[in-house]
Each structure stands twice: as C-alpha cells, then as structure tokens.
Structure 1
Amino acid sequence: MSTSPMPSLSTLDDVARLVADRHDIYVRWSRGPDPDLRSASSADDLTGVRLPGLSASALGIEDWWEERPARLWVARRLYDYCHLPRLKDPLTRPWLLRGREVARGPDNEPLVSDVEPLAWVDDDVITEAVDLVEQQPGRWGSLDRHGTHRQR
C-alpha cells in the first residue's frame, strides 16, 4: 500500500487505455490515497456507519457495452461524480486504484479493499469527460442529488 507520488493521467484516452480489459480498476473521489489508506474504509454520509472498504466507482467496461468507444464509457463513469469537489469538499480529486470488491455500499457502490493507488485524474480529463457526455443525444445527468450541474 505505497502512497508514494502518483503519476497523473492527462487525457480521457490515457484513462481508457488503463482500464481496457480490466475489471479491478476503480475511480475514487477523495482527498487522495494518503488519508484514505490510513482509515482503509469509508463511512455512510447519512448514518455515519463505517463501511468495510473504500467506496469507489468501477471503471471496468461491461461486456454488454460491446464495441462502443471505451473513452465514452470512461467519460460517463467519471461524469457521474464530477460534482463532488463542488458539493462536498473542494480538495476532493479523482484518483484511480486497483482493488478487490468486498461489498456494496448504501448507494450500491463497490466497496474495495487491498487498494493499490495508480494515478491521479487531471482536471482536463474531467472537462473532456463532461464535454463528451454533454455531446451525446440522450439526456443524462450526474449523480448529484441536489440537481446542480458542474460549474465550468
């Protein structure tokens, strides 16, 4: 569980290449691996209950996605929580990790253990993801429960 400085991924294609054919890569939105690995678990915001792992979002591409672009899959997954720095904590950043899913959290999110930090996700990647998702023909919004959108 090394917390040495991590590289940063600067494009959506960089993230898509990393997750290609992998199902053990997750994105976590937090202050980073150092504080997360000290606690080794998340807490339910509503009740305060400690969870048996870190909450994260799976980035592995599902088989039903078939031959659709990996970068669109990744963009959609990153877009889901891009509101967190604005809503919860301005120091929240996305970072990628390898881990083992041990349970599901109260929002049905994967809870992971045996976490290995891999890379930071640059702000430019999030901008690219938001732009790509917003270009799609269907209506879609982030998982922001307050209904606000990302300020750009």
Structure 2
Amino acid sequence: MLNLVTLGELVELCLSGPELYLRYSPGPEADALHPSTDHESGLLMPGVSANPLTPPPWWTLPADDWIARRVCQYLRETEEGARPWVLHGRVVDHGPDNEPLLVDIIPVAWLDRRLLAESHDRYRTRMRAGKSTH
C-alpha cells in the first residue's frame, strides 16, 4: 500500500482513477476478519462501511476542500486506535447512515498523520459552517 503524506497526493489519487473510499479502522487485514456491524442493532452488514472521497457533482468548491472534509469527518476514530486508509471496492448496499458498504476490497493507501494535520487545518480554516473562502 502507498503511504500518502500530503493532501495534494490524496487529491491527485482521487481524481485520477476509479472511485476511492476512506475508512478508519485497524486496517484491511483486521477488517477482513471482522465484518462491519451496525452498532445500534448489532446486525452484521453485507460489506465494509466507507466514505466516498470523490466530490459529488453539486460540489463547486475545490476538490481539496471536499476531500479534507471527508478526512476530518472521522478523525476522532484515531483516538481509539483506528488508522485512516484509502480503498477501492464494489458497492453492494448502504449502511444506516447511508454510507456505501463495499466488498471486493482493494487497499490503496495509508494516510500519514501529516496529511491528517494538513486536512484538519484546511477544513478548519475554509469550511467552518458554510463559510468557505472560495
């Protein structure tokens, strides 16, 4: 797997190929042993939950802003030992928060803590409550 150090590297990767997703977990090997579970019901889900990194068509701000926002969405998970990683897979359904559930997972890259810090800085300065400086 790649190790991405900058937000620019992640943006370039996301915009240059197939749909990529972000997941916070111990990693692909651990996820293969423990399927995603709906925490409220306890039900096993039919795939691994992940968040899409490609900006939707309505997003008219820079892709960097969208991707930084997605990286920051689950940063709190790192406090519990989860690591952020990028993956590709086939969407088979959606989870309780409408997140894609993926199978046929292909691990792509780990996100370095420097990328997390850069994403957090960008998100904090550009995306506070709809106050983008674009």
Same fold per superposition (TM over 0.5):
yes
2:6 maps to which residue? 11
For 1:112 and 1:45, locate their aligned partners in 2 and report how far apart those are by CA, in whole Å.
17
CA change 1:62–1:137 in 2 (3 A) is: closer
Q: Which residue identity is paired with 2:70?
A: R
* TM-score, structure 1 normalization: 0.79
Identity of aligned residues (%): 38
Give 1 or 2: higher helix fraction: 2
What secondary structure is seen at the aligned counterpart in 1 of 2:85? Answer: strand
Deviation string for 1:47-68 (max 9, x for gaps)?
A: 21100000000111212224x3
Matches within 5 A, 1:1-150: 6-20=1-15, 22=17, 24-39=19-34, 41-66=35-60, 68-86=61-79, 89=80, 91-136=81-126, 138-139=128-129
Question: Structure 1 residues 61, 21: closer, same or farther in 2, change over 3 A?
Answer: farther
Unaligned runs of 5+ in 1: 1-5, 141-152
**What letter corresponds to residue 108 of structure 2 in structure 1?**
L
Amino acid at match of 1:108: N
Q: Helix, strand or coil: the match of 2:54?
A: coil
Aligned length: 130
The C-alpha deviation readout for 1:108-141, integer Å capped at 9, x for no partner, is 111111100001011111111110011026327x
Q: 1:55 is aligned with what amino acid?
A: S
Determine the C-alpha separation between the residues in 2 that align with 1:135 and 1:72: 10
For structure 2, the residue ranges without an aligned partner over 5 or more in a row are none
> Is the Cα contact below 8 Å between 1:57 and 1:109 reproduced in 2?
yes
- How far 1:17 sits from its partner (Å)? 0.4
Q: Which runs of 4+ in 1 moved over 6 A?
A: none
Name the CA shift for 1:131/1:73 in 2 (closer, same or farther; >3 Å): same
TM-score relative to the length of structure 2: 0.89
